């Protein structure tokens, strides 16, 4: 089973605050592997353990982003690829997914592409599905688990109020969301040192044969007009009434707001 896992280095948003102008206050904020991607990598390692094969990890970003690839190599990935060039800078999710899909074509053959559900710095959840679109392969999003048996993939997809169990033939792209009780794995010192000796390739648009007009700011249809923190929620109204009376009050409010008649 040849698996490609897409990884992103992100600021640890648990430690980020906003400046008054809406930009991120990055002082002292460490960069980490996007936790959803970390989970996707953990799943890839689990599958590799059962089926054998190779895991290739792929990221796009500045030189510093190679750190997350090194973490993946330490955890057990076999090869890593970093798309790093000024031409990639300023890419939105569409341009990013185009670049990553070009790289994935160069990494073929593959059976499975795993991505995190979204990156915690942007929260768009668009890049994974868009990669599948560029590659014209099926996709299943928001999965908490993925298993492979006899070349059939079974995914557990999180839906409102429960899970869907879906099957897909290969190749397929899966985006993964981390179950709340999952402890992300970290490598031993020995594995980190072994990872240091594994291949890490840096690719520019030339190596992935990308159309440069589709990269960076030029290739990005998204325009950010303003970034601002959402206004704090107003304090809610609390009814200290019986269940029946509370229900009646809620009905009245919903009618007043014309939500129900």
Partner 1 sequence: MQKIDSVSRKLMLESLKHYAKENLPFDLLRKCDEENSFPAEKVKKMYKDLGINLLLIPQEYGGLASSTSDIYRVCAELARIDLGIATAIFATFLGSDPLNVGGTEEQKKYWFTKMARENLLVAYGATEADAGSDLIALKTRAEQIVKDGKITHYKINGSKMWISNGAIADLYTILALTPGGPSWFLVPKDTPGFTQLKHEDKHGIRLANTAGLCFEDVIVPAENLIGLKEGQGFLQAQAVFGYTRLMVGALALGAGQEAIENAIVYANNRVQAASPLSHKQGYMHKLIVPHYIKFEAARAFIDKIAKILDENNHGQATEGAIAKYYASRAANKAADDAIEAFGGFGYTKDFSVEKIKRDVKITCIYEGTSEIMEMTIYRGRWQEHLKTRGNFYLDMARKMEDIKEIDFGTKAIALGLKALSDILEECRLNRLTRHQYITFELGRLIANAEVAFNFVEKALSGKVVEGCPFNLETIKTMARINAKNVALDIATNGAKLVNSVLEKPTEKDFYISQITKECVGISKDMDALSIVLRDTFRN
Contact footprint for partner 1 (CB under 8 A): 14-15, 17, 25, 27-28, 66-67, 70-71, 74, 183-184, 186-190, 192-193, 195-197
Q: How far is the CB of 30 from partner 1 (least distance, A)?
A: 9
Nearer CB in complex with partner 1: 73/140: 73
**In Å, how far from its chain's centre is CA 166?**
20
Nearer CB in complex with partner 1: 166/192: 192
Residues 106 and 245: their CA atoms lie apart, in Å, by 65
> Exposed, middle or buried, 51 (CB in 10 Å: 0-12/13-18/19+)?
middle
Q: How far is the CB of 17 from partner 1 (least distance, A)?
A: 6
Q: How far is the CB of 68 from partner 1 (least distance, A)?
A: 10
Nearer CB in complex with partner 1: 136/190: 190
Residues 30 and 16: their CA atoms lie apart, in Å, by 9
Nearer CB in complex with partner 1: 53/187: 187
Nearer CB in complex with partner 1: 14/259: 14
Residues 74 and 67: their CA atoms lie apart, in Å, by 11
In our burial notation (b when 16+ CB lie closer than 10 A, e otherwise), range 222-237 reads eeeeeeeeeeeeeeee
Q: How far is the CB of 73 from partner 1 (least distance, A)?
A: 10
Residues 146 and 113: their CA atoms lie apart, in Å, by 12
């Amino acid at each position: 089973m040849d698996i490609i896992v897409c990884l992103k280095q992100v600021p640890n948003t648990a430690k980020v605050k906003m400046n008054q102008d809406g930009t991120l206050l990055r002082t002292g904020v460490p960069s980490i592997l996007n936790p959803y991607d970390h989970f996707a990598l953990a799943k890839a390692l689990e599958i590799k353990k059962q089926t054998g094969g190779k895991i290739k990890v792929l990221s796009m970003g500045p030189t510093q982003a190679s750190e997350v690839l090194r973490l993946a190599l330490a955890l057990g990935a076999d090869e890593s690829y970093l798309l790093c060039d000024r031409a990639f800078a300023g890419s939105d999710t569409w341009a990013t997914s185009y670049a990553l899909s070009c790289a994935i074509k160069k990494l073929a053959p593959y059976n499975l592409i795993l991505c995190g559900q979204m990156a915690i710095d942007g929260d768009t959840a668009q890049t994974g599905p868009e990669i599948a679109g560029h590659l014209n392969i099926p996709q299943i999003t928001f999965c908490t688990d993925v298993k492979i048996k006899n070349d059939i993939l079974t995914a557990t997809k999180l839906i409102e109020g429960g899970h869907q169990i879906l099957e897909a033939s290969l190749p397929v792209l899966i985006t993964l969301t981390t179950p709340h009780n999952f402890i992300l794995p970290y490598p031993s010192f020995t594995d980190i040192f072994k990872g240091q000796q594994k291949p890490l390739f840096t690719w520019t648009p030339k190596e992935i044969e990308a159309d440069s007009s589709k990269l960076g700011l030029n290739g990005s249809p998204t325009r950010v007009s303003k970034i601002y923190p959402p206004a704090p929620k107003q304090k809610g109204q609390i009814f200290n009434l019986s269940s029946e009376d509370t229900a009646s009050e809620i009905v009245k409010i919903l009618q007043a707001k014309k939500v129900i008649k």
